[in-house]
């Protein structure tokens, strides 16, 4: 009965067993052992389905990533190389960064396993020392590089090199030996092992070609392999062919309206979950509002990234006004509704709760009020 209540993630252990020791060692070293390693293998098997549930409209790209990582997890890849090196090319706001976050959560247990390097900060040749650490005799020696030190402390992780096309080419060339040998020497001469990392590089290169290729004369879309060959010349003009050959090119398409609508509902669902958890209030949003958010996202180049801005700027303030007004007047509400007049103007209304229901944020009956000091 105790084992059934504890499930797969018990908070306390009644005895010290193999999985307990493996968990402690994994916490100390960052190396998955025992059950954590078995969970990782299971996570790879269901990776494609998990990614598709979270990232909409990019099925071919997600399938390509999942297949490559399955080969690595089964031991078929070169053990010296990273688990995968992927160049995610496409427009902004289509799920490239979200893919890296989702892979980190699925394979390595959470977003804490994601190492993000904004490559736009490395536009000068000398900034390479920030990645690997300063050499002896220079300021900062011994502090470690932002990349090498992070991987040294978390050898099992996802490395995200964001906006890689903005970095100086000499900085990008640093990754030759990472992609080929799975090793990189830091400023102190230590060899940092990248063989248990997944490396994602994101880029907006070839966005125009990818967008244009989505609509073919026959009304269909270009196959994934054909799309890769279409954009390869554009990528080759920026990256050296030898470096490009060490990456798996994964094109990300512009999101269609139905995929954007699914993402809008996912993000609004998270807002509804937070509202229910913190205030015990349900959130109902009309489909017209969802359609108008999709329309605003397609009008700008930000793509799905614009959804968060629209919610923060136009939706959350109105919901907050309703909640705070109810609290100040001592009213209890059960449902918040968001409707549209069809012209882009949204109205937020609320239904009062049944008599006897607690106010949002209030203590349940029979319990003392929580102190706000």
Write down the domain spans for the chain. Answer: 35-251, 257-352
CA 118-120-123 angle, to 5 degrees, is: 130
Task: From residue 188, give the alpha-carbon distance in Å to each of 78, 133, 146, 256.
Answer: 27, 8, 14, 49
Mean pLDDT for the stretch of residues 66-85: 89
Confidence band for 73, pLDDT divided at 50, 70 and 90 = confident
3-state class (DSSP) for residue 109: coil
Mean pLDDT for the stretch of residues 22-51: 73
Alpha-carbon gap, residue 133 to 191, rounded angstroms: 12
Alpha-carbon gap, residue 97 to 116, rounded angstroms: 10
- Class of the domain covering 257-352: mainly alpha
Question: Taking the model in full, what pTM does it have?
Answer: 0.76
Q: Which residue in 194, 48, 166 sits closest to 107, CA to CA? A: 48
Pairing of strands 191-193, 346-352: unpaired
Q: Which pLDDT score, from 0 to 100, does residue 6 have?
A: 60
H/E run at residue 360: none
3-state class (DSSP) for residue 23: helix
Q: Which pLDDT score, from 0 to 100, does residue 317 have?
A: 92
240-253 tens-digit pLDDT:
989 999 999 999 98
β strands within 268-345, DSSP E = 282-285, 333-340
Of 27-36, 90-99, 312-321, the least confident: 27-36
Mean pLDDT for the stretch of residues 304-316: 87
Alpha-carbon gap, residue 251 to 265, rounded angstroms: 24
The CATH number assigned to the domain with range 35-251 reads 3.40.50.300
């Amino acid at each position: 009965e105790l084992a059934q209540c504890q499930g797969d993630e018990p908070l306390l252990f009644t005895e010290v067993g193999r999985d307990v020791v493996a968990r402690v060692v994994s916490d100390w070293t960052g190396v998955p052992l025992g059950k954590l390693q078995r969970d990782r293998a299971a996570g790879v098997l269901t990776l494609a389905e998990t990614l598709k549930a979270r990232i909409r409209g990019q099925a071919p790209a997600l399938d390509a990533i999942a297949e490559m990582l399955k080969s690595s997890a089964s031991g078929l890849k070169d053990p010296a190389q990273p688990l995968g090196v992927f160049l995610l090319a496409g427009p902004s706001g289509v799920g490239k960064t979200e893919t890296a976050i989702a892979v980190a959560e699925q394979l390595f247990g959470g977003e804490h396993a994601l190492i993000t390097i904004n490559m736009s900060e490395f536009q000068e040749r000398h900034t390479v020392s920030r990645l690997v650490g300063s050499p002896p005799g220079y300021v900062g020696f011994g502090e470690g590089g932002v990349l090498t030190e992070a991987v040294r402390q978390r050898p099992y992780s996802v490395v995200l090199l964001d906006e890689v096309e903005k970095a100086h080419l000499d900085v990008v060339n640093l990754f030759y030996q990472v992609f080929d040998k799975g090793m990189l020497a830091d400023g102190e001469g230590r060899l940092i092992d990248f063989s248990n990392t997944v490396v994602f590089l994101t880029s907006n290169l070839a966005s125009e070609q990818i967008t244009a290729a989505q609509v073919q004369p026959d009304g269909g879309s270009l196959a994934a392999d054909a799309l890769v060959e279409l954009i390869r010349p554009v990528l080759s003009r920026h990256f050296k062919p030898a470096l490009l050959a060490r990456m798996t090119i994964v094109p990300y398409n512009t999101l269609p309206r139905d995929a954007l609508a699914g993402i809008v509902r996912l993000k609004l669902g998270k807002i509804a979950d937070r509202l229910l958890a913190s205030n015990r209030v349900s959130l109902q949003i009309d489909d017209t509002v969802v359609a108008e958010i999709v329309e605003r996202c397609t009008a700008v180049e930000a793509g799905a990234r614009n959804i968060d801005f629209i919610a923060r700027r136009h939706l959350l303030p109105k919901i907050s006004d309703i909640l705070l007004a109810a609290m100040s007047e001592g009213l209890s509400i059960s449902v918040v509704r968001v409707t549209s007049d069809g012209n882009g103007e949204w109205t937020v209304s609320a239904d009062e709760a049944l008599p006897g229901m607690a106010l949002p944020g209030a203590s349940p009956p029979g319990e003392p009020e929580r102190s706000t000091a």
